Structure 1
């Protein structure tokens, strides 16, 4: 029983070390961690993924009069001027939208290549983890946690059975129980860490940007850095929150022209609606 306890302890410890190294390497990023010249859309993407970037663009265009948003959640363009690719995507998708519904527009722009490429660029620079890169480590953490959870009652059953056979089980339980509990907690933590999209370099870049522009009261900045909860216009906040609730979690991918582009879809990393592991 003691030999079995030692083997279980060594197996759990080795698994924990391997998972820690893997997730740490994942979050160091494949790129240089270059945070120079981040613009507002990149900061929005770091803080909340495609949805935050789109909300930032919609807020900018609404407050400078280029976009009208009225009830019940209908958007219309007042100007054809776009200051960046995301705003251009808003105008393109709005022109293709059948009724100007805000949640449909938001969903379409989230999947537009102009927005998706922001995530690709941040991942290339080591500020975000590409979609799917942490799947194996997340699965590893989950499997470790499940095996340790199953192992706890199994260890008690084995100890009781061995005690009836006259074997000493004190050392076995003293080694195995703390090991399994540690593995259970560690597996859950690793699975959560592997699910985080923003690397430490990305979090540092977002924090540095927020600190450097703390005196910037523009609504779009507040949305990009703090989310819709910081939006000073309650009517617009309500419209965007409603649109967010109606927006599906995973956007399609479209070309900048608004049409479906299967070649882009085949080779691109499709970013989900928000960046897990950082701001909501």
Structure 2
């Protein structure tokens, strides 16, 4: 009956990890008392980008914006070159600083530097204070809980295989397999539900932030969205493209060469 010990281990890991994930998900989804003024105004493109995709999306938007205005060159080879060394806001100045004094750099280190830049951290702090972004601690807790459930799922599978090897075929392995299928099903279902139920923006946006992003996503032509620098869009077509990049990422770019360059070297 040694297999019963394996069963207890599998069930214990499954119950503890799934409970932790549920508690972390509920805590992350709790209303954060959003600032009414922040909830009532339109999002800037940088804010929308952060809520939709985090610091990396903000970097995407800054680079694509500068590329569209011909102040940067983004090569398919994965290099970025400065054309205009004068940034129009703090984030664009961070882009130029990240590229370096030579005015040219591979994309990956530039993106990594942008994700940790002071303007991006300040943006994250403002959105969290306004109740529009999920706090870093909540995201960390959910991520750790998901990893624990995955580990429990693997453990249930391994202990089930070990238990079946311990049971003689003559004794009947069917009931043993059925008992181990339950914690395996529990953990797998929990992971599936977490994946399906998680809103595309939920990693970064709070429920209030998700509502603002939903308005942009559904009604891009009617929602007043400020330009990344804070002013009005120079043209509706360019403004809608940058809005699409902010909300959906570089996959929304119509230029296949630019899209391939960013995707190939940034993993988007």
* Other-structure match for 1:127: 133
Once residues 15 and 105 of structure 2 are traced to their aligned partners in structure 1, the CA distance between those partners, rounded to angstroms, is 53
Once residues 160 and 206 of structure 2 are traced to their aligned partners in structure 1, the CA distance between those partners, rounded to angstroms, is 34
* Other-structure match for 2:93: 88
**Is 1:28 matched with 2:29?**
yes
Deviation of residue 39 (structure 1)?
Answer: 1.7
Q: 1:217 aligns with which of 227, 237, 244?
A: 237
Asked whether the equivalents of residues 25 and 142 of structure 2 are also in contact (C-alpha less than 8 Å), the reply is: no
**Is 1:163 matched with 2:179?**
no
Once residues 14 and 237 of structure 1 are traced to their aligned partners in structure 2, the CA distance between those partners, rounded to angstroms, is 43
Deviation of residue 224 (structure 1)?
Answer: 1.1
**Is 1:54 matched with 2:74?**
no
Asked whether the equivalents of residues 142 and 188 of structure 1 are also in contact (C-alpha less than 8 Å), the reply is: yes
**Is 1:206 matched with 2:219?**
no
Once residues 141 and 42 of structure 1 are traced to their aligned partners in structure 2, the CA distance between those partners, rounded to angstroms, is 32
- TM-score, normalising length: structure 2: 0.66
Deviation of residue 137 (structure 1)?
Answer: 1.3
Matches within 5 A, 1:140-219: 140-160=148-168, 163=171, 173=176, 176-186=179-189, 188-189=191-192, 197-198=203-204, 201=207, 202-214=209-221, 217-218=237-238, 219=241
Deviation of residue 227 (structure 1)?
Answer: 2.0
**Is 1:137 matched with 2:145?**
yes
Count of residues paired in the alignment: 234
* Other-structure match for 1:276: none
- TM-score, normalising length: structure 1: 0.64
Once residues 155 and 85 of structure 2 are traced to their aligned partners in structure 1, the CA distance between those partners, rounded to angstroms, is 58
1:70-109, Cα deviation, whole Å (9 max, x unpaired):
6563422426251x43223224434x43342251444432
Q: Identify unmatched segments of 5+ residues in structure 2.
A: 223-235
CA change 1:148–1:200 in 2 (3 A) is farther
Q: Identify unmatched segments of 5+ residues in structure 1.
A: 246-279
